[in-house]
Amino acid sequence: MSQDLTGRFVVALDLTGVTDKPGLMDRVARALALPDWFGRNWDALADSLCDHTVWPEGAVEQGMLVVVRGWQPYAEASPEQWRTAQVVFAEAVDRTPSLAVVLALGGTSQVIGRDPGCSVGA
């Protein structure tokens, strides 16, 4: 089953350099322009992802696509927290049909030890 993600309001959540939960929460707060009262915990993140009243302007009408990039070092540094983040993202998407969260691939060559001479599709 596929979902049409075209036309959605896109939010880039760049986790480059993030290695802990406070860093993740700060990046989410910035990317989504969350209010100062955002609690910076897992429950607050779930609530914010599902609450249209705190979404960026334009996202409610279009639906929102959150593209998470630079997540691999965080996943490696804090695997339990990353699993929790994935659960929070997945549950928010399940509860909010107009929300989609995707993990961008790329920049993983050091993580998986890819041969620099290797090219995809060759």
Q: What is the mean pLDDT of residues 1-18?
A: 83
Q: Model confidence over 56-105: pLDDT tens digits?
A: 988 999 999 999 999 999 999 999 999 999 999 999 999 999 999 999 99
Residue with tokens 């705190």: 54
Please tell me the predicted confidence (pLDDT) of residue 54.
93
pLDDT at position 6 = 75
Give me the pLDDT at residue 14, please.
Answer: 97
> How is residue 54 written in tokens?
């705190």
| pTM exceeds cut of 0.75 | yes
- One DSSP character per residue, 7-62 reads TPEEEEEE-TT--SHHHHHHHHHHHTT--TT---SHHHHHHHHH-GGGSPTTHHHH
